[in-house]
């Protein structure tokens, strides 16, 4: 593919804009400054603009470690959107494959592939999500059984689907909860229904995709092909 076409696709630029960018001398292909849009780029070429690699065409799959205080939407009048943490082109094409509350931290997946995210968010597919939960009060002896049976939430017609709970540190009221739905404020409402309160919530896993230990809050990375494919299995 010609370099100018590659940049048009990758940056959402017009041919005229791509030509201007290339002429500016800020574009390199395999570390060589290139000033002609006609040169051919192949799969193995590394194209950079102002020192930043321009991703090849194709869907993007991102894992972000969402910090406290960011919302999972494009717009919010009060809080920062988590999108400000991404250094990506064509931001308007990206969406969250499932949201977290503003005060929940941890794994969020972001993509421009609607079919892939549907697989994660559609109730039909029952994709498991694991949360680390810190409760205000002691973990009740009956919680595991009640969560496995399903909890009646206020303003919901049906009980929650069976959820599994594992105590991590009883003295700290800390546990892991795995649910296969994504109702509004679901985890907080489940524990409220049990007479407790979630103090802190952190998502560690979605399906087989685990939040990368190497990421600090606010950092992100692209998913590996294996992680992307795991959603279909």
Shortest separation between residue 64's beta carbon and ligand URA, angstroms? 14
Shortest separation between residue 187's beta carbon and ligand URA, angstroms? 3
Is 101 tagged catalytic? Answer: yes
Shortest separation between residue 203's beta carbon and ligand URA, angstroms? 6
28/178 with CB nearer ligand URA: 178
Q: Going residue by residue from 174 to 213, which x/- string records binding to ligand URA, judged by CB under 6 A?
A: -----------xxxx------------x------------
Among positions 19, 104, 105, 130, the unique one binding ligand URA when judged by CB under 6 A: 104
29/179 with CB nearer ligand URA: 179
Shortest separation between residue 22's beta carbon and ligand URA, angstroms? 44
53/181 with CB nearer ligand URA: 181
The one catalytic residue in 68, 101, 103, 199 is 101
Please give the size of the binding site for ligand URA, defined by CB under 6 A: 8
26/76 with CB nearer ligand URA: 76
Cα 122 to chain centroid distance, Å, stands at 15
From CA 60, how far away is CA 110, in angstroms rounded? 8
> Which residues are catalytic, by number?
101
Residues of this chain that bind ligand URA (CB under 6 A): 100-101, 104, 185-188, 201
């Amino acid at each position: 593919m010609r370099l100018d076409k590659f940049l048009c696709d990758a940056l959402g630029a017009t041919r005229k804009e791509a030509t201007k960018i290339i002429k500016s001398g800020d574009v390199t292909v395999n570390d060589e400054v290139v000033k002609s849009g006609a040169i051919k780029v192949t799969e193995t070429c590394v194209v950079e603009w102002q020192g930043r690699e321009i991703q090849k065409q194709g869907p993007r799959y991102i894992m972000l470690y969402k910090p406290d205080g960011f919302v999972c939407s494009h717009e919010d009048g009060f809080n920062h959107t988590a999108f400000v943490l991404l250094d990506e082109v064509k931001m308007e094409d990206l969406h969250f494959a499932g949201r977290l509350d503003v005060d929940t931290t941890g794994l969020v997946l972001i993509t421009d592939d609607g079919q892939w995210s549907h697989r994660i968010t559609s109730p039909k597919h029952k994709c498991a999500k694991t949360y680390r939960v810190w409760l205000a009060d002691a973990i009740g002896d009956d919680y595991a059984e009640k969560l496995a049976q399903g909890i009646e939430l206020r303003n919901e017609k049906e009980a929650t689907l069976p959820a599994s709970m594992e105590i991590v540190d009883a003295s700290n009221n800390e546990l892991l909860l795995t649910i296969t739905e994504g109702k509004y404020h679901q985890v907080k409402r489940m524990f409220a229904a049990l007479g407790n309160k979630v103090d802190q919530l952190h998502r560690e896993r979605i399906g087989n995709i685990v939040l990368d230990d190497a990421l600090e809050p606010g950092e992100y990375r692209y998913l590996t092909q294996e992680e992307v494919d795991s959603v279909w299995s």
